[in-house]
Structure 1
Amino acid sequence: MSAEHKGLQGPAMLAGTSAVRAAVGDTLLRARALLQRRETAAAQRLYQGVLLIDPDNVEALHLLGVACLQAGDAKQAEPLIVRSLKLGLGRAWNIANHGAVLVALGRYAEALAVLDKALQLDANCAPALLALGNALLALGRWPEAQAAYEQALANAPGLPEAWCNRGKVLRALNRPADAMISFDRALRLEPANDEARTHRGHALRDLGRTEEALRSYQLALVARPKAPELLALCGSLLTDLGRDLEALGCLDEALLQRPNDVQLLYQSCVALDRLHSHADLLTRCDRLLALAPDHPVAWLARGNALQGLHRYPEAVEAYGNAVARDPSLTDAWRNHASALRMLGRYADALDDYDRALAKTGANAELLYNRAATLQQLGHYDEALTSYEAAALVPAETAQALYSQAMALQQLRRDSEALACYRQARETDPNHGIARRSEAFCRLLTGDFAQGWLQHESRWSAGDTIFHRRYTDRPMWLGAEPVTGKTVLLHAEQGFGDTLQFCRYAPLVAALGATVVLEVPLALKPLLGSLRGVDLLVAQGGVTPPFDLHCPLMSLPLAFATNLDTIPAEVPYLQADPGRRQAWRQRLDEVSAPGRFRVGLAWSGNPRHNNDENRSILLEHFAPLYGLDATFISLQPLVRERDKACLAQSGIVNLGAELSDFADTAALIDALDLVICVDTSVAHLAGALGRPLWVLLPRVPDWRWLLDRDDSPWYPTAHLFRQDKPGDWPATIGNAAQALSGWIAEKRAQR
């Protein structure tokens, strides 16, 4: 004690010193209680107060250091604990705390040396063993870390940190089930331990228990609301579960806190891509590429966005940037080729597929797309060979199985295709397109019972999820009586689907319902002729109150439709008599007297997902329009590629005079025959009960079925089918031969 202190030993000061000591002692007791309850901020304030009175108080120094460590400030903790040790603290527990600080600072070699001293003093010191395990865990020395944690827990089984970190070690040793036991023990001791909850989610994910893993991350979020790393984990799992909209919500919330986080931006691009939200995806990709211009998958996603927006030249450029940065990116090569095909550059696309196959080896998806490209190049036998190769590739992923199934369908091995579709959805229950395609394949082969049921899975596919409406209202699928109730029937997809399935409205009305039919605005004038509809409304207009709703394409399920019960009484739509007469007069102006009048439609909506298989170049129609009849174009839109051919063909082009579907219906009603591909014109002519010839690809849309030249949906239709995938010349040649005979027969009848 210093001389100055020795001079202050009067009776009054002794009393004061005694009072101060009592106050310090009381403060230390209160601080220790706070520290045990992990109220570190309050404990720190008390210890700092003690040190103002007694700067060398070893307990205050040491435990203030412990409090700083608990608060995550190891840098401030270290000098405090070191000083307390120099002032005389030397028990194993104190030295263990120094080791723990060194571990927190990442100074593992020093930590191991310090902890060795602590364990020499007390081989069973649980804090020293815990800190040792943490150092070994950080160094990746898993078995030694496991042994340290287990020795610590043998002496102090109530250490949640030891249980949690033992679980981390067991995960690292590829023992997730055992790790789960450790995390559960930690959570029993400390239910609010968000770290244990998070790592428990990791173990569940390792075990493939995705739903449970998501729940574990969500519970961790309760302890740490809006933690971006937890939101990212939830987003990732929701994407795995096919819940892309929810995933995007989590990722967007995380991005509010970390707007420049490249990984979060990338994950959100994946969700947007799967949701087919192309405009938003493009904006997000540009944001990501501003931060990481050489991110190859960001360029791939940007290409997907541009292709979805039908900006094909830009998509080609984006995919080119992706493969330039990562030549092994198979998806980029495949999608680059797809964009080239949309531009009619089939030979270049074929080169892309061959280049990708040289890198990957046999790949079902690449071989399938290569076959489709060969079709477009007119190499029909080579296309079949490529489909056969796709069907032979061993497939393990859902996407590969899906591609294999489509190839098997082209080979007309439908039972094998169904098995592949089923295996694809079992491999990945969230592969919505595989489930939908299985439904279509069942319907195509006439299995309506299973097909209609599975067709409801269409709502889980990314390209339809945004089209689903009225999800908050009761849906009718035929189970409950509708007498006296108002039922809203609403269109969900294309014009052709609406024209085909509006036929069910009179059946719903016959059950005693008040029927409200909601259809695209372009169809409203025409569908005013449909029986059984009490109120017709246009999409986007005001929908009246209703009790139940049903999408039009779910009505066959509601009525348990089979091949024998298809409601096929035609016509169920009527052309306006005044418009029909006007068109007859117009046709008299453009057609020689006595000539048969044949309507042609050779291509549909270019944005249809199967357009390249169903639409035909007009030049291929030459064997038809060269015959002795007046041919009328029913195309409201003529593509750039067909304009020159149309101008030279002699076909009467009245497309610019067609104002809506009611006009097209009246024109069709004034014709002798309609010949078209699978487009809305076919459904319109069929619904009007007009003579109709439909040209179909080898694997047509499901509604046309297989191996028949008639349609149970449209009694006046005659079907012409491809024998080989893509072989339109042969199909059109057959139709031209039939048309020549039809003209001769009709003339003879006259």
Structure 2
Amino acid sequence: MIPGKHRPGSPLAQQQIADLLGRGLALHQAGNLPQARETYRFALSLDPRQPDALHLLGVSFLTEHPGEAEQLIRQAIAASPRNPLYLANLGVALRNQHKFDDALAMFDKALRRKSDYWEAHFHRALTLLAMGRTEEALTALGRAIAHNPDHVGALKYRADILSDLDRFDAALADYDRVIKIMPGHAAALNNRGIVLLRLLRAEAALADFDAAIALEPRSPEIANSRGSALRAVGRLDDALAEFDRAAALKPDFVDAIVNRGSVLQDLARYDEALAAYAQAQRINPDHALAHWNDATLRLLTGDYARGFAEAEWQRKVPALGIVTPNFAQPLWLGESSLEGKTILVHADLGFGDTIHFARYIPMLAARGARVIARVQAALRKLIGTMEGVSLCIDKSAPLPEFDLHCPLSSLPLAFGTTLESIPAAVPYLTAPELPETWRERFGNDERMKIGLVWSGNATHSNDRNRSIRAELLAPLLARNAVFVGLQTEVRPHDRAALGERDNLILAGPSFADFSDTAAVVAALDLVITVDTSAAHLAGALGRPVWLLLPHVPDWRWLLDREDSPWYPTARLFRQDAGRDWSTVIARVDHALIEEFPTTS
């Protein structure tokens, strides 16, 4: 007998194999796969059918050579067919070869042997996730966590999935558990910060990103996240520096380059912003957000030809949440005759956008089309009265037959709109008759009646820039006029700041839809509003509207002008580089006294 080598199956041989497997496993766990494999093979030279040696050698190939791993683990199972560990790792080998159904069958077999085998539940979840069966993957992760409540990997996977599904509260709960178990988990801190940022809790998000960057200071992804939070809290110069750092750490990091362009645009450094978007597109020509940001900036500067063409990329930007219906009928973008055709135009953005782009509907009818408008329920009655609308339905209604379709926001492109060809005739919306209750209320007061909107949707991504705190309105509310609050939501701190005023009527909360709002707006002498749907409604009704704009406004208001080519009755009051709303209110107050002396 060769010294050190024993007869297979003998106690000495079994001990030698056990020692070899222990040594190999230590090498394996230390990441030294070549020596681990050599050790496993030496064990197999002592007993070629030794199942643990076959299994461990197979596991060492799971990532690099899953096919070889499958063959070795199958040999281990042949020798020991009821071992759930072998079955589960065979499932991993099959999954790594995209044999998903076979992998699931193997995990299920392992779980029949050991129902509380959390690793099998975990890997089953990853397989379901790879198959796109997200809800089943969440259930499997839940079972893994139930059997191992402190498993960081399962908790983080579940949190990431919940975040992607916009189930933010549940995602935050799992991230909190991960960070409690492992306070130094930089990825969990980063991802929790991203959820907080999406919930508009920017300061809390920034704290997470600060903690994450302290743990991994050279992570370009965390630097990019931190830059987004800095931008959200208005620290634009710091945000720019952070995006620059992210791009320096990873020169082809397109997201950071696009975000850098966004901050440059916020800073009104428009040429540099365009250069950043162009750089991003050179690296990734299909980066939708780079195209969309480029589009908004070109539209803002009046380059409508390129801007409206680039704007079609918005439908591929997940963050915008635009749902593009999958119609069988062809998309119409102006290339074919509409004579005798039925075209469906459908709202694809917000209320203000629907009102803004509805101006094109009569032009479709003028080309011989029968126009069906599919809009938000709150706008259905109002848009349904427009010239050229044959039928108006809301988004929940069954679709009638039609030949062609076009999103409302694509109509400027379809009609080749330029600054000189904007269809600006107003009114193109007609308000219903003012209800008797409002007629009596307005008729008994001879003072000037002014509609007022100082804030929009609190969840709007640009709310921090476009909304005004109610206390800043004090100079206006001191004027000799009746002010009618048109916004449907009044935030608690604004309600407290406004207090009880005999010249302020908060009408908006009583409006059922935009027809109600339109009836009141049509009876007003003037509307003063921030950039919300009320501005578009007043403009479309042909009513005088004074629009209060941030320093870098939405694209349709262009730059450095006090009028709007879209709404002839609009007057624009812009923030200067100081971004101070109080100076804007002061100019509005002065204009009010100057143009309407009775308000002084």
Instruction: Determine if the alignment matches structure 1 residue 538 to structure 2 residue 398.
Output: no
| Alignment match, 2:364 | 508
Cα distance between partner residues in 2 of 1:630 and 1:270: 61
Are the structure 2 counterparts of residues 340 and 138 from structure 1 closer, same or farther at C-alpha, using a change threshold of 3 Å? Answer: closer
Instruction: Determine if the alignment matches structure 1 residue 618 to structure 2 residue 470.
Output: yes
Cα distance between partner residues in 2 of 1:614 and 1:255: 51
Match for 2:576 among 714, 723, 726?
Answer: 723
Contact 1:580 1:670 in 2 (8 A): no
Instruction: Determine if the alignment matches structure 1 residue 370 to structure 2 residue 230.
Output: yes
> What is the Cα deviation at residue 350 of structure 1?
4.7
Letter paired with 1:614? R
Match for 2:254 among 393, 398, 404?
Answer: 398
Cα distance between partner residues in 2 of 1:646 and 1:601: 13
Match for 1:298 among 148, 157, 177?
Answer: 157
SS of match in other structure, 1:736 = helix
Which deviations, in whole Å up to 9, do the C-alpha atoms of 1:586-638 show, x marking residues without a partner? 2345xx43x22221122222333333333333233334333332221111122
Are the structure 2 counterparts of residues 108 and 356 from structure 1 closer, same or farther at C-alpha, using a change threshold of 3 Å? Answer: closer
| Alignment match, 2:583 | 733
Contact 1:340 1:349 in 2 (8 A): no
Match for 2:275 among 419, 442, 455?
Answer: 419
Which deviations, in whole Å up to 9, do the C-alpha atoms of 1:194-231 show, x marking residues without a partner? 969x9xxxxxxxxxxxxxxxxxxxxxxxxxxxx98677
Contact 1:255 1:261 in 2 (8 A): no
Instruction: Determine if the alignment matches structure 1 residue 108 to structure 2 residue 108.
Output: no
Cα distance between partner residues in 2 of 1:700 and 1:252: 52
- Whose helix proportion is higher, 1 or 2? 1
| TM, length-normalised to structure 1 | 0.60
Contact 1:390 1:403 in 2 (8 A): no
Are the structure 2 counterparts of residues 422 and 657 from structure 1 closer, same or farther at C-alpha, using a change threshold of 3 Å? Answer: same
SS of match in other structure, 2:483 = strand
Match for 1:747 among 582, 597, 600?
Answer: 597
Instruction: Determine if the alignment matches structure 1 residue 705 to structure 2 residue 558.
Output: yes
Instruction: Determine if the alignment matches structure 1 residue 579 to structure 2 residue 431.
Output: no
Contact 1:432 1:461 in 2 (8 A): yes
Are the structure 2 counterparts of residues 715 and 302 from structure 1 closer, same or farther at C-alpha, using a change threshold of 3 Å? Answer: same
SS of match in other structure, 2:419 = coil
Match for 2:302 among 421, 427, 446?
Answer: 446
Cα distance between partner residues in 1 of 2:427 and 2:178: 53
Are the structure 2 counterparts of residues 452 and 621 from structure 1 closer, same or farther at C-alpha, using a change threshold of 3 Å? Answer: same
Letter paired with 2:572? L
**What RMSD, in angstroms, separates the aligned Cα atoms of the two structures?**
4.4
Instruction: Determine if the alignment matches structure 1 residue 633 to structure 2 residue 485.
Output: yes
Letter paired with 1:734? V
> What is the Cα deviation at residue 488 of structure 1?
0.9
SS of match in other structure, 2:275 = helix
Contact 1:436 1:458 in 2 (8 A): yes
> What is the Cα deviation at residue 710 of structure 1?
2.2
Letter paired with 1:619? E
| Alignment match, 1:335 | 194
SS of match in other structure, 1:467 = coil
Cα distance between partner residues in 1 of 2:44 and 2:143: 43
| Alignment match, 2:314 | 458
Cα distance between partner residues in 2 of 1:555 and 1:435: 19
Cα distance between partner residues in 2 of 1:510 and 1:670: 30
Contact 1:613 1:697 in 2 (8 A): yes
Contact 1:445 1:706 in 2 (8 A): yes
Cα distance between partner residues in 2 of 1:297 and 1:368: 22
Match for 2:420 among 561, 564, 579?
Answer: 564
Unaligned runs of 5+ in 2: 1-8, 10-35, 49-53, 71-90, 109-119
| Alignment match, 1:607 | 459
Letter paired with 1:438? D
Are the structure 2 counterparts of residues 267 and 748 from structure 1 closer, same or farther at C-alpha, using a change threshold of 3 Å? Answer: farther
| Alignment match, 2:525 | 672
Cα distance between partner residues in 1 of 2:527 and 2:242: 37
Contact 1:228 1:255 in 2 (8 A): no
> What is the Cα deviation at residue 693 of structure 1?
1.9
Which deviations, in whole Å up to 9, do the C-alpha atoms of 1:148-172 show, x marking residues without a partner? xxxxxxxxxxxxxxxxx9xx99x99
Cα distance between partner residues in 2 of 1:624 and 1:386: 35
The 5-angstrom pairing of residues 372-391 of structure 1 reads 372-373=232-233, 375=234, 383-390=235-242
Are the structure 2 counterparts of residues 600 and 748 from structure 1 closer, same or farther at C-alpha, using a change threshold of 3 Å? Answer: closer
Letter paired with 1:616? I
Cα distance between partner residues in 2 of 1:253 and 1:598: 69
Instruction: Determine if the alignment matches structure 1 residue 435 to structure 2 residue 291.
Output: yes
Are the structure 2 counterparts of residues 384 and 584 from structure 1 closer, same or farther at C-alpha, using a change threshold of 3 Å? Answer: same
SS of match in other structure, 2:465 = helix
Larger Cα-atom Rg: 1
Which deviations, in whole Å up to 9, do the C-alpha atoms of 1:10-34 show, x marking residues without a partner? xxxxxxxxxxxxxxxxxxxxxxxxx
Are the structure 2 counterparts of residues 559 and 297 from structure 1 closer, same or farther at C-alpha, using a change threshold of 3 Å? Answer: same
Cα distance between partner residues in 2 of 1:268 and 1:700: 45
Contact 2:451 2:521 in 1 (8 A): yes
Are the structure 2 counterparts of residues 297 and 409 from structure 1 closer, same or farther at C-alpha, using a change threshold of 3 Å? Answer: farther
Cα distance between partner residues in 1 of 2:272 and 2:197: 26
> What is the Cα deviation at residue 432 of structure 1?
3.3
Contact 1:406 1:417 in 2 (8 A): yes
Are the structure 2 counterparts of residues 464 and 706 from structure 1 closer, same or farther at C-alpha, using a change threshold of 3 Å? Answer: same
Contact 2:468 2:581 in 1 (8 A): no
Contact 1:320 1:336 in 2 (8 A): no
Instruction: Determine if the alignment matches structure 1 residue 683 to structure 2 residue 533.
Output: no
Match for 2:410 among 554, 562, 581?
Answer: 554
Are the structure 2 counterparts of residues 339 and 368 from structure 1 closer, same or farther at C-alpha, using a change threshold of 3 Å? Answer: closer
Cα distance between partner residues in 2 of 1:443 and 1:537: 30
Are the structure 2 counterparts of residues 341 and 646 from structure 1 closer, same or farther at C-alpha, using a change threshold of 3 Å? Answer: same
Contact 1:665 1:684 in 2 (8 A): yes
| TM, length-normalised to structure 2 | 0.73
Letter paired with 1:637? E
> What is the Cα deviation at residue 571 of structure 1?
0.9
Which deviations, in whole Å up to 9, do the C-alpha atoms of 1:46-85 show, x marking residues without a partner? xxxxxxxxxxxxxxxxxxxxxxxxxxxxxxxx9xxxxxxx
Contact 1:410 1:699 in 2 (8 A): yes
Contact 1:300 1:322 in 2 (8 A): no
| Alignment match, 1:262 | 122
Cα distance between partner residues in 1 of 2:356 and 2:462: 18
Cα distance between partner residues in 1 of 2:214 and 2:577: 27
Contact 1:269 1:301 in 2 (8 A): no
| Alignment match, 1:213 | none
The 5-angstrom pairing of residues 201-220 of structure 1 reads none
Contact 2:209 2:225 in 1 (8 A): no
Unaligned runs of 5+ in 1: 1-77, 79-102, 116-133, 141-164, 173-193, 199-226, 235-249, 376-382
> What is the Cα deviation at residue 647 of structure 1?
3.7
Letter paired with 2:373? L
SS of match in other structure, 1:706 = coil
Contact 2:100 2:131 in 1 (8 A): no
The sequence identity of aligned pairs, in percent, is: 37
Are the structure 2 counterparts of residues 460 and 367 from structure 1 closer, same or farther at C-alpha, using a change threshold of 3 Å? Answer: closer
SS of match in other structure, 2:587 = helix
Are the structure 2 counterparts of residues 709 and 420 from structure 1 closer, same or farther at C-alpha, using a change threshold of 3 Å? Answer: same
| Alignment match, 2:495 | 643
Are the structure 2 counterparts of residues 284 and 549 from structure 1 closer, same or farther at C-alpha, using a change threshold of 3 Å? Answer: farther
Higher relative contact order (CA 8 A, sep 6+): 2
Are the structure 2 counterparts of residues 305 and 749 from structure 1 closer, same or farther at C-alpha, using a change threshold of 3 Å? Answer: closer
Cα distance between partner residues in 2 of 1:368 and 1:282: 29
Are the structure 2 counterparts of residues 467 and 251 from structure 1 closer, same or farther at C-alpha, using a change threshold of 3 Å? Answer: farther
> What is the Cα deviation at residue 409 of structure 1?
1.0
Cα distance between partner residues in 2 of 1:530 and 1:256: 59
Which deviations, in whole Å up to 9, do the C-alpha atoms of 1:544-601 show, x marking residues without a partner? 211111111111111111111111111110111x226653332345xx43x2222112
SS of match in other structure, 1:720 = strand
Letter paired with 2:460? H
